[in-house]
Amino acid sequence: MTSITALAVAAGTPRGEHHGSVSAEARCSPRGVFTWRFSVATAFSLTQEQIAEFERAGMLRVPNFFPQQTMSEMAGKIWTDLYARFGIDRHRPDTWTKERPAQFQKLIRFGSFDALGDSLAVIADALLGSGAWDRPRHIGLPLVTFPTGAWDVLHAMWHLDLPATGSVGKLPIVRAFALLEPVRPRGGGTCYVEGSHRVIADRARAASESLRSADVKGLLQAEEPWFAALFSQESKNREQRFMIDGGLARGIEVRVREIVGDTGDAFVMHPSLLHTIAPNALDRPRLMLVQPLVRRGWNQDRL
């Protein structure tokens, strides 16, 4: 299991509450490289319970972490962009003609989500170590899913963000999600297999090598009946079986969960956690941002 306890202690951040963004300025240089200035040091550290939860599940929800006003302004920018590019109108579901709009580079390069920088720095300090991470070149990739119809636990597109190792050393990255609007069950929130990062680390240790997504899926399919069933289109009663019953793999409890929460919630994900896109069976779009936070020296182009 990857231990982050030492990292959080090493971060040396005073224990206290994070109250969202303080005034941080981000500027975009002509080459598109952001430089940030932080005017207020933010006091935040994870509690022992939060650290234990991150280690156990591979995902940590921090409720009400990002400021509501910032979330609402960023959601507004995405809606404006969707209207300009596709004629998608926030108030007219008949115009929601793209299920998963993408290509938000213009918004990102324009710095539309840079106000998240201060809060993200707090997460990176707590999980990667104070100052031990590289400032992202650009901040915030929108994840938007309009209603797609029926919901189920998908059998396909499960993946890891990075090749997994058996190392219990330092995390190379974490991935942070920001909820710009509430995300309700079956509403398109990313699905993940709670505990899978520990199964995969254990398997990578046995293999004595790092394992890419495809390797991991092949090994789990061959060796672990619960994962073999998850990856099979033939498996029925998927919600009951994978989300309610859960299962065991290499002696570790595993279960599919959705990212579900309220506006301003942060979710932080371990890089070896198996996850996938999800359908959206509700009548509102899923609006989130995702941002990898990268340990200093790690090549960001590998993400």
Ligand X SMILES: O=C(O)CCC(=O)C(=O)O
Phi, psi of 291 (to 5 degrees): -145, 120
- Which residue, 184 or 205, has its beta carbon nearer to ligand X? 184
- Which residue, 190 or 263, has its beta carbon nearer to ligand X? 190
- Which residue, 42 or 264, has its beta carbon nearer to ligand X? 264
- Which residue, 120 or 277, has its beta carbon nearer to ligand X? 277
Closest distance to ligand X from the beta carbon of 146 (Å) = 12
Phi, psi of 61 (to 5 degrees): -95, 130
Three-state DSSP string of the chain: CCCCHHHHHHHCCCCCCCCCCCCEEEEECCCCCEEEEECCCCCCCCCHHHHHHHHHHCEEEECCCCCHHHHHHHHHHHHHHHHHHHCCCCCCHHHCCCCCCCCCHHHHHCCCCHHHHHHHHHHHHHHHCCCCEECCCCCCEEEEECCCCCCCCCCCCCECCCCECCCCCCCCEEEEEEECCCECCCECCCEEEECHHHHHHHHHHHHCCCECHHHHHHHHHHHCHHHHHHCCCCCCCHHHHHHHHCEEECCEEEEEEECCECCCCEEEECCCCCEECCCECCCCCEEEEEEEEEECCCCHHHC
Closest distance to ligand X from the beta carbon of 292 (Å) = 8
Cβ atoms of residues 67 and 20 within 8 Å: yes
- Is residue 275 close enough to count as binding ligand X by CB under 6 A? yes
Please report the sign of the dihedral spanned by the C-alpha atoms of residue 162, residue 252, residue 188, residue 260: negative
- Is residue 178 close enough to count as binding ligand X by CB under 6 A? no
Tokens of 19: 């109250």
- Is residue 277 close enough to count as binding ligand X by CB under 6 A? yes
- Which residue, 18 or 275, has its beta carbon nearer to ligand X? 275
- Is residue 290 close enough to count as binding ligand X by CB under 6 A? yes
Closest distance to ligand X from the beta carbon of 142 (Å) = 10
- Which residue, 24 or 188, has its beta carbon nearer to ligand X? 188
- Is residue 256 close enough to count as binding ligand X by CB under 6 A? no
Closest distance to ligand X from the beta carbon of 86 (Å) = 18
- Which residue, 128 or 278, has its beta carbon nearer to ligand X? 278
Cβ atoms of residues 11 and 130 within 8 Å: yes
Residue, CB closest to ligand X: 190
Closest distance to ligand X from the beta carbon of 180 (Å) = 13
Closest distance to ligand X from the beta carbon of 191 (Å) = 8
- Which residue, 61 or 275, has its beta carbon nearer to ligand X? 275
Closest distance to ligand X from the beta carbon of 302 (Å) = 13
- Is residue 260 close enough to count as binding ligand X by CB under 6 A? no
Among 190, 196, 263, 280, binds ligand X (CB under 6 A): 190
Under rule CB under 6 A, how many of the chain's residues touch ligand X?
Answer: 6
Interacting positions 124-163 with ligand X (CB under 6 A): 143, 161
- Is residue 272 close enough to count as binding ligand X by CB under 6 A? no
Closest distance to ligand X from the beta carbon of 161 (Å) = 6
Binding site for ligand X (CB under 6 A): 143, 161, 190, 275, 277, 290
